[in-house]
Amino acid sequence: MKNGVTVVRDNSGGLKRALAALTKTTCLVGFPASEAERDLAPGETGQPMTNAALGYIHDNGSPAANIPARPFMVPGVAAAAGAITTVYSKAAKAVLDQPASADAIVDAAHNRVGLTAQDAIQSKIEGGISPALSERTIAARRRKYGDDATETPLIESGQMRSAITYVLRQKGSN
């Protein structure tokens, strides 16, 4: 006992490792390059637009192409913010309790967060985003897909929605 403080065990090295593990990796959600390519839709020719480009256009809109903004990325992740905070909070506590397992704990947390955010974005799309499709767009989809045509905005073939995923990256890497 020194100055009224009893040191049971010095775990400052473990704390440093734990903090490093919590901050060295980031979880990115969206359209990684490996998922960016799309197949041609029925009746299309040429090079298809990538899922990343299509996602950006729909998320932000394109007045020149008469496409209204239908934000789904940020609102989707925002809908999962509570769950994401809970996962990282539990991981931080677990890392402090088990600093030797910090990397595994943090990797598992990042993967849970990635899946949570991915699911939330896909659910946002599936729930329908206003504005509704124009009658012209609905008619074009019916011509292209027949009875299988959907009137849900942002879902035509399902390729873009299915391509939403996550990757874990070391901070500072490309």
User: What's the mean pLDDT in 130-146?
Assistant: 93
Higher pLDDT, 10 or 120: 120
For 81, residues 6+ apart whose C-beta sits below 8 A from its C-beta are none
User: What's the mean pLDDT in 84-99?
Assistant: 89
In a domain, 125, yes or no: yes
In a domain, 5, yes or no: no
User: What's the mean pLDDT in 137-164?
Assistant: 92
Provide the pLDDT for residue 174.
59
User: What's the mean pLDDT in 86-111?
Assistant: 89
CB atoms within 10 A of CB 78: 14
Q: Is the pLDDT of residue 1 over 60?
A: no
Provide the pLDDT for residue 11.
67
Q: What are phi and psi of 116, to 5 degrees?
A: -65, -45
Question: Number of structural domains, the chain?
Answer: 1
In a domain, 121, yes or no: yes
In a domain, 2, yes or no: no
In a domain, 63, yes or no: yes
In a domain, 3, yes or no: no
In a domain, 9, yes or no: no
Question: 62: domain range?
Answer: 14-170
What's the pLDDT tens digit per position in 19-70? 777 788 889 999 987 666 777 777 777 777 888 999 999 999 999 999 999 9
Q: Which of 140, 160, 141 is nearest to 72 (CA)?
A: 160
User: What's the mean pLDDT in 93-120?
Assistant: 91
Q: Which of 57, 59, 38, 50 is nearest to 129 (CA)?
A: 59
Higher pLDDT, 119 or 7: 119
In a domain, 1, yes or no: no
Q: Which of 54, 75, 66, 45 is nearest to 159 (CA)?
A: 54
